[in-house]
Amino acid sequence: MGNDSGGLTDVVNAPADKIIEALTDFDSFTEWQGSVLECEVLERDEAGRGSLIRMKVDAKIRKMDYIVRYSYDLPNGLGWDQVSGDLKENTGRYTFTPREDSGTDVTVDIVAEVGFFVPGPMKNLIREQSLKNSMRELKKRVES
């Protein structure tokens, strides 16, 4: 498992299509992503995938609402950019690299700015925990 400015990378013992299925099943997010309180698909793209998503999350500091636009570069990755909401910035990306053992190297990178002062070390800790939680919850969902 690696963690640098490029996000967090880990081996997920599942094929990329199963991982993509979990990450695009927005209706199930509240079941397996601990911080997601609500998730609603507002628009779908021509392939029927969620493209504009409203979420309410428990960010520990406070509950936050936001709308993100998803973009897809499948089977290589998917990402989102905030359109509106409580956060100053919210972008993220998952990338997938298949392995010979039928697992997948998954990299997650999330940038979330709350819009008020948070000391640098605390901000880094929050980001690191967010990345680790995202990876842990994804692995639990698709490896079981």
Condensed to tens digits (0 to 9), the pLDDT of residues 35-66 reads 999 999 999 999 999 999 999 999 877 899 99
Condensed to tens digits (0 to 9), the pLDDT of residues 90-141 reads 999 999 999 999 999 999 999 888 877 777 787 788 888 889 999 999 999 9
User: What are the structural domains of the chain?
Assistant: 2-143 (3.30.530.20)
Q: In sequence order, what are the beta bridge partners of 43?
A: 52
On whether the pTM is more than 0.75, the answer is yes
